[in-house]
Each structure stands twice: as structure tokens, then as C-alpha cells.
Amino acid sequence: MFKDKKILVIGGTGAIGDRLVNRLLREEPEVIRVFSRDEYKQYLLQNEINHYDNLSYLIGDIRDYQRLSSAMQDIDYVFHLAAMKHVPSCEYNPYEAVQTNVHGTYNVIQAAMAQGVEKVLFTSSDKAVSPTNTYGATKLTAERLISSTEYSKGEVKTIFASVRFGNVLGSRGSVVPLFQRQIHTQRKITVTDLNMTRFMMTLNQATELMMEALQKAEGGEVFVLKMPVILLKDLAEVVIDETCQKHQLNHEDIQIEEIGLRPGEKMYEELMTYDESTMAWELEEMYIIPGHQQSGLWNLGANRTDHGTYSSNRVTPISVEEVRQLLLSEQLID
């Protein structure tokens, strides 16, 4: 599907964007444009993958419609990954989160329609489901903008869809590198609550999900990967154990300190509400919540899902050893 296509990756210098660009290059597209506002990250990525003639880098911000429109000229597919993602930052700077996550996404939509882009995939978050924080609220609003465009776009042929992520292990700002830094510098790690549960996925899983979702998208869907659930206590213990073994540290010297929930943070996360489950279709690896105008689109090769909230407190967490194998397979312990 991606061979000889022209692709724009917005937010392409983030951890997921970086991995996506590398993965897409293997599909032999005609061009990939990496769009982001971080000059330094672009410099790092250019040094990492500097032997491709079909790769170009564009400095820009999704708050700037004109720059987006220029970047989308003659583009077939758009992956929209750019966002303010840090929950406390969004809590303390809510309008900035709105400017980037909501207005920025609206700009992406308008530019894509104006330039005749074939497909746009927006990356949402589990925090958009029953949101309790600014970040989740802005992601929910952006997700609704994407879905609603399908029944308000008139004769425009651009297809819009979303994919919901849980936490991505190994992404910038994730807890594993934070835990490791704390072990080395403080001989302790701080956790919000040891009983907290989270949906977790790897960078490779996130990349493959985005590519598959773009291929399957017919308009307005939300794609939800079936993800393992990890208990924070198990993740903390595995990171301590593996880091101590690798760096010859005494496991007994490392303390775990519970500090309580941060502003806007939840004890558990949800990927699909009960109401959404009544409409959803199920494949082996994902759920598909159809767009408002779709009826029966996913009955070929898919089954209707059981009704119920898809929540991390309703799914049995994977075992400690499974957590260990997940971290080691992704080479997340430095």
C-alpha cells in the first residue's frame, strides 16, 4: 500500500514518529516528509538515517495552517502524531494544550482536505476515554473532530480515522527510562501508586497498528489495539531487578517511594466505553469502533464485540516474567 506513495509524518521526530519513519522506509515510498517543530530532534534523526534520498525534513508547527498546507502538497497519506502529551504540563497550561491538540488537529483536517490527501490517521490516547484531565479532554475533542469530518466534508474524498494508544514502552517520557535514571542517581524510584494499572504497548506494536489502521480505514473509525495490562508494582520491580543485575548494583539498596497521583491522573485507564462496545467490531488483534455513518461495514472478517468497558482494571495483568520478557525483547533496559 505504501510503495511509491508520498507520506507526511507530522510529529515525525518523536519516539513513535521516529520508529514509524524507519518502518515506512522499508515499504519503498516515493517520499516521506518529516514535519516537526523541534530542530534538534530533526538533526538527530537526520544523522541516524541519512542515506535515503526520498526523506525530507520540514520545520513547522501544526498551529500554523499555511505551513501545514504547504507540507501536504501532493501528499497521499498523513500520519498525525504531533501533540502536547505530558499530563501535568497540559493541566498547568490548558489553553496551550487546546492550541496544539485541538486547533492543531483542525488545521491538519482543513489542510488535508484542501490538498486532496487520500487518507489521514490521527493518533489518540486511552486518556481520551472518560477523560479526567486536560490532555484527555483535548485528545477526545480532536478525535471527535476527525470522526465528525467524515459526515460533514461534502464531496471531499479524504478519509479520516483515529487509533487509540495506551502507554508506549520506550517512548520519550515513559516510566522505564525515568525509573532507571532514578536508580542511578537517587538509589530509589518514585511511583504514584503501586496498585495502578496501565495498558502498555511497544514501539513496534504502535507502528504496526498505525500502518494497519491506515490500510483498513474507510472513514471515521477508531481503531483500538488489544494491549496487555501491566501492574505498576510489577514494572517497577522488574526494572529495579534488571538494572541492578546489569550494573552490579545491590537490589536491597533501591527503595520504592509512593508519592500519590499527579494532577489529572487516574488509577486505571480505559480504551473503550460501554456505549462504544455496543457498536464495535472485533478482530483478533484490535477492536474497531465504526464511524457514525457506517453500518455493517465491519461484518466481513470481524465479529461483534461483547458489551462492556475495556478498562485496565477489568483485564488480568500479565505476569512478572511476561513483563520482564517484554522489556528485554524491546531492549529497554540500558
Q: Scan for cell 501492574, then name that residue.
A: 231
Q: Which of 223, 228, 200, 227 is nearest to 212 (CA)?
A: 223
d(CA 286, CA 186) in angstroms, rounded, equals: 40
Could you tell me how far CA 315 lies from the centroid of its own chain?
A: 20
d(CA 248, CA 203) in angstroms, rounded, equals: 28
**127 among known catalytic residues:** yes
Phi and psi torsions of 282, nearest 5°:
-130, 125
Catalytic residue among 127, 139, 233, 266: 127
Would you name the residues annotated as active-site residues? Answer: 127
